[in-house]
Structure formats: structure tokens, C-alpha cells
């Protein structure tokens, strides 16, 4: 009760402070949110305020199946019924447009090149809607998910919607079993992942320096983005931006992908703003981790230690495991 009361007082103060300047309702559009405070300029809600400024975003504050989370490997449960994830590209390369959205680097496949995933924890077929990059201002942070409390320099999220049940992403995002996100941690190395190298080489990334910049890429093979492993970790969560709908099945691949230090540097030089506005680095575009609460973290990694039981788990003899491949 104490915490709830505190937050409502803060919110009231905020409404009183801002209402004289501009009516708050005019700000209630889908993009009126931010990851971090800006030093100057008008108030834009950071993650702790997302659920308080717009009633349609309630789940960001009161949801109980929110993402991202800190993956504690000691809480993982081996589920022998989890099959490998299936990627279907129809054997074709894809084209897409890469955008600076002001918040993320985003690659959207064009409609002529459909890619879908199925299998694993998924009961339906999910079509790729967007490849999104999160990254940090320092190498120790930048991923949305953490592993045993530790962050990575970045995280690639492949966002898919359920194409069996829904006609488009917006409808799926607010509906049961709507979304499947494949998440891959980004680490630094001398050589970079073939797919990410196409997006992040100097000639390409500098085309999207500013908000709303876009650049067309062709001949991309999404299979190149996937590390060479069938192992993953999965849990039921939410989309990590407002309205935080709790419709996402997360699949975290058990191996990272690599980019070079130079490519990470180029990412940090992207601006959240248009060219005529002050430079504000896009880095640290991450939502803080959310409580796991009663949820299970399942994995297809077999390990021998016996674990506690999990209500959602189909495994008769659930087991634990404590390490990530190639961490
Ligand atoms: C998991 O590993 C244990 C010990 O290595 C083995 O006995 C068991 O058959 C494995 N289970 C599955 C489903 O692969
Ligand atoms: C998945 O994608 C492949 C290749 O584009 C396509 O042929 C197939 O029909 C899709 N599956 C479904 C269920 O739509
Ligand atoms: C998505 O599909 C719904 C239901 O068919 C439709 O009403 C809506 O206009 C579509 N939205 C977009 C952005 O295409």
C-alpha cells in the first residue's frame, strides 16, 4: 500500500506541474515514452512511468508477466518435450528496410519475402515482423534480458506475430498467443555475424544516423543471424515497450552473436533525434528487468541435476542446469 500511495503522489505532482504548460491528453500517442530522462526539454515518461501516464499502458505497471527478466540459470527447468525451433524462409533471401525509429535500429522485411518460425514452445506459425537492436553505452550493458544479473553489450530481438490466428502485428500484439520473440545476445569480437555485418558496416549504418532515416537492404539471409545451436530458453512474457501486452512467448537462443567494437561504436553514434536537433545517443535503449513472479523458465538443455517442480511444466522429472554455452 505504501508504495502505491507514493507513486500516485508522484504522478499527481507530475500532472499538476505539466498541465499548465500543455494538456496531457495531447501527449497520449503511442510514441510518447522514452528509456531515459533527457537533460533538457519537456517531460517524457521513462520506464517507471510508462504504466502511469496512459491507462491503455496499465500492464507496464501492474502486469505480472512482464519482460525483460533476469534469467537465473538456477531457476531453469529442463523440459524434454521442447522440440527445436523451425525457421522457414522458403529457401529465399529477404529484403527489408532498416530504420532509425529514434528508439531502436529496426529492420522490417518487405512483404514479398515472408519468413516464419514454428516448433519449439510455439503451437502456431509466427511471421517475422521486425528485427530490433538494443545496445548499451558501455560493454557491460545494453541487453534487455540479463543472465544471472549480468548484461551483454546488446540484444537482437526478432519479433514475430501469429499468422495462423491474426491478420497483422497490431491485432496479434494484444491477443492471446499473439507474439513470439527470438532473442539473441550480442557480444564483441574481431569478426561479426554475417547478417549483422550487412546492417552495421560503415556504409550502411551511417545512412540511418538520425531519427526517421531509412535504408533498403536486399539479399539478406535471416538464417545467418541464428547462432549454430538448437538450444534455447523460453518463458511467457510481454512486449518490452508500451503498451506492454502480455502476449509474447520469448525464446532466448543459448549462444550469442558477435559484432566488432567498431560496429558497436557506430551504433552508439546514432541519434534519437532529427539532424536539426541536439545529438542524443540511442544507446541504453533497454527496459529494466521485471519480476519473474510465478513464471517458469523452461529450456531444452538437458542437465542432470534434479530440480523442484514447476506447475506449467509438462516434464515428469524436471531438472536444472547452471551454465550457458559459450558465455
Ligand atoms: C538427459 O540427460 C540424462 C543424463 O545425461 C539422461 O539420462 C536422459 O536420458 C536425458 N534426457 C533426455 C530427454 O534426453
Ligand atoms: C511459412 O513461410 C513459408 C516460406 O515463406 C511459406 O511457404 C509457408 O506457407 C509459411 N507457413 C505458413 C503456415 O504460412
Ligand atoms: C489489422 O487487422 C485488423 C483486423 O483485421 C484491422 O482492423 C486493422 O486495421 C489492421 N491494422 C493494420 C495496421 O493493418
How many A from CA of 252 to the centre of ligand 2? 23
Q: Which ligand is nearest to the CA of 305?
A: 1
177 is catalytic: no
Contacts of 36 (CB under 8 A, 6+ apart): 46, 284
pLDDT of residue 222: 97
Q: pLDDT value at position 42?
A: 78
Alpha helices, DSSP H, located in 217-290: 261-268
**Could you identify the atom of ligand 2 that is nearest to the CA of residue 163?**
14
Q: What are phi and psi of 257, to 5 degrees?
A: -110, 160
Instruction: Name the residue with cell 567494437.
Output: 261
**Active-site entry in 126, 166, 235, 320:** 166
Cell of 188: 564483441
Higher-confidence residue of 50 and 311: namely 50
236 or 91, higher pLDDT: 236
Average pLDDT, the chain: 87
- Strand pairing of 116-119 and 297-299? unpaired
Ligand 3 binding pocket mutation candidate from 129, 169, 171, 173 (most atoms within 8 A of CB):
171
**To 5 degrees, how large is the angle CA 108–CA 113–CA 119?**
90
111 lines ligand 3 (CB under 6 A): no
Measured from the CB, is residue 42 less than 6 Å from ligand 1?
no
pLDDT exceeds cutoff 80 at 20: no
CA of 226 to the centre of ligand 1 (A): 25
Is pLDDT of 299 > 70?
Answer: yes
Q: What pLDDT is stored for residue 13 in this prediction?
A: 39
- The predicted pLDDT at position 39 comes to 64
Cell of 55: 491507462
- Helix or strand or coil: residue 88? strand
Cell triple for residue 217? 537492404
pLDDT at 186 over 90: yes
Position 184 pLDDT exceeds 50: yes
Kindly state the cell numbers that stand for 220.
Answer: 539478406
Q: Is the CB of 304 under 6 A from ligand 1?
A: yes
- Tell whether ligand 3 has an atom less than 6 A from the beta carbon of residue 30: no
According to the model, what pLDDT value does residue 313 have?
A: 43
Q: Whose CA is nearest to atom 5 of ligand 1?
A: 304
List of domains in the chain: 2-62 (no CATH), 70-268 (3.10.200.10)
- Among 76, 83, 301, 302, name the best residue to mutate to test ligand 1's pocket (greatest count of ligand atoms within 8 A of Cβ): 302
**pLDDT value of position 306:** 44
Q: How much is the average pLDDT of 48-71?
A: 96
Whether the pLDDT of residue 8 is over 70: the answer is no
Residue 114 CA to ligand 3 centre (angstroms): 18
Reported confidence tier of residue 304, pLDDT bands at 50, 70, 90: low
Ligand 1 centre and the CA of 75: distance in Å? 18
pLDDT category of residue 81 using cuts at 50, 70 and 90: very high
Q: What pLDDT does 112 receive?
A: 87
Residue with the smallest CA separation from ligand 1 atom 3 is 304
Q: Does ligand 2 have an atom closer than 6 angstroms to the CB of 119?
A: no
**pLDDT tens per residue across span 121-179:** 999 999 999 999 999 999 999 999 999 999 999 999 999 999 999 999 999 999 999 99
Q: What is this structure's pTM? A: 0.87
Residue nearest (by alpha carbon) to ligand 1 atom 13: 80
Is 171 a pocket residue for ligand 3 (Cβ < 6 Å)? Answer: yes
Largest CA distance in the chain: 62
**pLDDT of 215-224, one tens digit each?**
999 999 999 9
- pLDDT tens per residue, range 101-123: 999 999 999 988 899 999 999 99
Q: Which ligand is nearest to the CA of 317?
A: 1
Residue 289 near residue 145, CB atoms below 8 Å:
yes
Q: How would you classify the pairing of strands 146-147 and 70-71?
A: parallel
Q: Which of 162, 170, 172 for a ligand 3 pocket mutation test, highest count of atoms within 8 Å of Cβ?
A: 170
Amino acid at each position: 500500500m505504501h508504495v502505491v500511495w507514493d507513486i500516485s503522489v508522484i504522478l499527481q505532482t507530475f500532472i499538476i506541474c505539466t498541465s499548465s504548460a500543455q494538456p496531457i491528453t495531447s501527449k497520449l500517442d503511442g510514441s510518447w515514452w522514452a528509456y531515459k530522462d533527457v537533460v533538457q526539454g519537456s517531460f517524457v515518461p521513462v520506464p517507471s512511468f510508462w504504466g502511469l501516464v496512459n491507462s491503455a499502458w496499465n500492464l507496464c505497471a501492474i502486469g505480472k508477466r512482464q519482460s525483460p527478466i533476469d534469467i537465473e540459470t538456477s531457476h531453469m527447468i529442463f523440459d524434454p518435450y521442447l522440440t527445436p525451433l523451425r525457421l522457414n524462409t522458403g529457401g529465399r533471401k529477404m529484403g527489408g528496410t532498416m530504420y532509425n525509429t529514434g528508439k531502436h535500429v529496426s529492420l522490417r522485411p518487405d512483404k514479398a519475402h515472408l519468413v516464419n518460425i514454428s516448433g519449439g514452445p510455439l503451437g502456431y506459425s509466427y511471421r517475422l515482423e521486425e528485427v530490433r537492436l538494443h545496445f548499451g553505452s558501455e560493454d557491460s550493458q545494453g541487453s534487455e534480458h540479463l543472465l544471472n544479473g549480468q548484461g551483454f553489450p546488446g540484444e537482437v530481438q526478432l519479433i514475430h506475430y501469429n499468422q495462423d490466428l491474426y491478420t497483422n502485428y497490431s491485432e496479434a500484439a494484444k491477443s492471446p498467443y499473439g507474439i513470439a520473440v527470438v532473442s539473441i545476445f550480442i557480444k564483441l569480437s574481431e569478426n561479426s555475424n554475417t547478417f549483422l555485418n550487412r546492417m552495421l558496416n560503415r556504409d550502411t549504418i551511417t545512412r540511418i544516423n538520425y531519427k526517421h532515416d531509412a535504408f533498403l537492404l536486399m539479399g539478406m539471409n535471416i538464417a545467418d543471424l541464428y547462432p549454430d545451436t538448437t538450444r534455447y530458453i523460453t518463458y511467457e512474457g510481454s512486449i518490452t515497450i508500451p503498451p506492454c501486452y502480455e502476449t509474447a512467448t520469448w525464446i532466448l537462443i543459448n549462444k550469442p552473436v558477435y559484432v566488432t567494437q567498431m560496429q558497436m561504436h557506430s551504433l552508439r553514434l546514432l541519434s534519437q533525434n532529427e539532424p536539426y536537433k541536439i545529438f542524443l545517443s540511442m544507446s541504453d535503449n533497454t527496459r529494466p528487468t521485471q519480476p519473474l513472479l510465478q513464471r517458469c523458465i523452461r529450456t531444452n538443455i538437458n542437465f542432470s541435476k534434479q530440480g523442484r517442480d514447476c506447475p506449467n511444466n509438462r516434464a515428469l522429472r524436471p531438472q536444472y542446469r547452471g551454465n550457458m554455452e559459450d558465455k
